[in-house]
Structure 1
Amino acid sequence: MSRVFLIWAVKHSVKEVQNEDSVFLFVIAWTITEIIRYSFYTVSLLNHLPYIIKWARYTLFIVLYPMGVTGELLTIYAALPFVRQAGLYSISLPNKYNFSFDYYAFLTLVMISYIPLFPQLYFHTIHQRRKVLSRTEEHEKFD
């Protein structure tokens, strides 16, 4: 979901951030991650999973995940002044629906949500890595 959000609701919608280095940062992290992920899935379906692909799937995220998150946050941050100035996707009162929405505040809340969510997801993945790779190493000892 964050990828759709970042690509459409931030990068596509705020033309001024499209050439930011932060966009390059998260796109590179996402690209490498997907190449590894789908290589892992493909060779798993073929019942021939080389250890290097399993290792890459459960190790390279250590660098790629923070790199992607950094790029995402920097891109949102770069978009904030343009969102505020243009009032992008914002709805102000009064209106016939008696509803308001401030996209600037929403983006700020999205950025703040990374504080509790990122460590939780990152350490869950570290735990998964430990579990999967230690199981592989134990099997190799007996083979």
Structure 2
Amino acid sequence: MAVSGSGGSRADNGYSSQQPRRRKGPGALATAYLVIYNVVMTAGWLVIAVGLVRAYLAKGSYHSLYYSIEKPLKFFQTGALLEILHCAFGIVPSSVVLTAFQVMSRVFLTWAVTHSVKEVQTEDSVLLFVVAWTITEIIRYSFYTFSLLNHLPYLIKWARYTLFIVLYPMGVSGELLTIYAALPFVRQSGLYSISLPNKYNFSFDYYTFLILVMISYIP
């Protein structure tokens, strides 16, 4: 999700006495809604961060920390689906297709992989992408909130455009390793697969689909 900008829609070439047209931002109600949404999402990911830290301090180990934040992770990651609607209804100027792809990829990993394949929930790779997502989303939603309020602290702006250098490869690595870890269990159980013959004359191999998902990560 992105906050609407205030740049001109055409360049001032010096031959026009009119001011450059500015992109129209969200209205007062839309802005209020977006502020509330981003504050709630920031708070949600902070809850996840605190949950991870508390579980680590209690256990003295980073293994199997997923169970300590499973419910809020599912809730707030699924809540990101609203960002697709924000784009579709024009509340924010981001691409619907790009936003849908980004959001759905995480929702897919949350529900169709990590939730569905219980055996991978203890994998360290899950913690890898969860930590990357958590830090990323706290920064991202904070950035949007303060931008909407026209008061963006330098530290948040710096974090937004700097820490992704570490967080992006960290998150992608965790996601790919988790999908890879799920493959043998999916193949053995036939999870979500549809075999022939059936009355719809249709087959689907979830194992192969996951491999294609992994390949799609290649830029």
% identity of equivalent residues: 90
**Secondary structure at 2:216's aligned position in 1?**
helix
Pairs within 5 Å for 1:91-130: 91-115=194-218
Using the TM superposition, give the Cα deviation of residue 108 of structure 1 relative to its aligned residue in structure 2, in angstroms. Answer: 0.3
Task: Give the distance between the partners of 1:50 and 1:97, measured in 2 at CA.
Answer: 56
Distance 2:211 2:150 in 1: 45
Alignment equivalent of 2:129, drawn from 15, 26, 30? 26
Moved more, 69-78 or 43-52: 43-52
Deviations 1:11-58 (A, max 9, x none): 000000011000000000000000001111111122111222111101
* Higher relative helix content: 1
After TM superposition, the structure 1 = structure 2 runs for residues 1-143 of structure 1, keeping only pairs within 5 Å, are 1-115=104-218
TM-score by length of 1: 0.79
1:39-94 residue CA offsets vs partner (Å, 9 max, x unmatched) = 11111122111222111101111110110000000000000000000000000111
Aligned-pair distance for 1:10? Answer: 0.3
Which of the pair has more CA radius of gyration?
2
Which ranges in structure 1 are unaligned for 5 or more consecutive residues?
116-143
Instruction: Name stretches of at least 5 consecutive residues in structure 2 with no aligned partner.
Output: 1-103
Structure 1: how far apart are the matches of 2:174 and 2:215?
Answer: 15
Runs ≥4 residues deviating over 4 A: none
How many aligned positions are there? 115
- SS for the counterpart of 1:93 is coil
39-48 or 59-68, which moves further after superposition? 39-48
Scaled by the length of structure 2, the TM-score of the pair is 0.52
Alpha-carbon distance between aligned partners in 2 of 1:114 and 1:38, rounded to the nearest angstrom: 24
Counterpart Cα distance in 2 of 1:97 and 1:81: 27
Q: Report SS of the residue matched to 2:217.
A: helix
For 1:47 and 1:95, the matched residues in 2 are separated by 58
Q: Secondary structure at the match of 1:89?
A: coil
Q: CA RMSD in A?
A: 0.6
Tell me, in whole angstroms, the C-alpha distance in 2 between the residues paired with 1:94 and 1:46.
58
Q: Does 12-21 or 42-51 show the bigger shift?
A: 42-51
Q: Does the residue aligned with 1:5 lie in a helix, a strand or coil? A: helix
